[in-house]
């Protein structure tokens, strides 16, 4: 059974800091991995999707990497801003037609 | 393309009542997923449809839960005889399944259910 872990559960950083959010998964035979953002009481916004054949994806200040062999992904946020404060979830899919398995998320607070 | 929509956004009900939620996927998407998220947890898979066929159901989906997608477009999720443990955010997602695609799932805003 695939399990996804995100540690720590919460993180607080000062504005402007570069930061890395970690995600680990137990079964390396994944189809793809997605990073999502969730604001309090809201739905999920997809940030980046990495296919199993890819090593990284970039969008603006965000960069996600994938190391399937070690079962790890990282989300790098450059020059953090208070508007980045949210919960960040990673999720893996083991097949093209399968469900997403989520971690519990990391709640990020960026202090002005 | 207006994205995935869900209705209602919030529902408060008394224990034992039945509730029904609706999800409208992105128009050309043939796959529709339901997830449940409790406080401090990631979303957990409930069920999914390809067109009108319900292809997989989680063991979380007890016999009090039923989902339909009658015409392969919108979907409904009904909970009968609600219990306080059903209080959660119910999320719907849709994707386009087919060769060459990533089957990326796009999520709606969710329906927050509170059972008193």
A111 in reach of chain B (CB within 8 A)? no
Chain A environment of B106 (Cβ under 8 Å): 46
Q: How far apart are CA A58 and CA A16, in angstroms?
A: 19
CB atoms near residue B35 (< 10 Å): 27
Best mutation site among B42, B57, B114 for testing chain A: the one with the most A CBs within 10 Å?
B42
pLDDT truncated to tens, each residue of chain B (116 aa)? 579 999 999 999 999 999 999 999 999 899 999 999 999 999 999 999 999 999 989 988 889 999 999 988 999 999 999 999 999 999 999 998 765 556 788 999 999 999 99
DSSP A99: P
């Amino acid at each position: 059974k695939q399990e996804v872990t995100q540690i720590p559960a919460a993180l607080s950083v000062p504005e402007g800091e570069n930061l890395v959010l970690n995600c680990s998964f137990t079964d390396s035979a994944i189809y793809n991995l997605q990073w999502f953002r969730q604001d309090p009481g809201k739905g999920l916004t997809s940030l980046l999707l990495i296919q199993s054949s890819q090593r990284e994806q970039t969008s603006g200040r965000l960069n996600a990497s994938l190391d399937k062999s070690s079962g790890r992904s990282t989300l790098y946020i450059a020059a953090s801003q208070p508007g980045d404060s949210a919960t960040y979830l990673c999720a893996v899919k083991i097949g093209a037609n399968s469900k997403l398995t989520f971690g519990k998320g990391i709640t990020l607070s960026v202090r002005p | 393309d207006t994205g995935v929509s869900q209705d209602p956004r919030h529902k408060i009900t008394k224990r034992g009542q039945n509730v029904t939620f609706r999800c409208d996927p992105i128009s050309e998407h043939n796959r529709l997923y339901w997830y449940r998220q409790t406080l401090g947890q990631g979303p957990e898979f409930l069920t999914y449809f390809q067109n009108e066929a319900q292809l997989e159901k989680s063991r979380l989906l007890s016999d009090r839960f039923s989902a339909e997608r009658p015409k392969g477009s919108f979907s409904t999720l009904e909970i009968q005889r609600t219990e306080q443990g059903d209080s959660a955010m119910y999320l719907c997602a849709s994707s386009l399944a087919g060769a060459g695609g990533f089957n990326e799932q796009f999520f709606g805003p969710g329906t927050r259910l509170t059972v008193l």
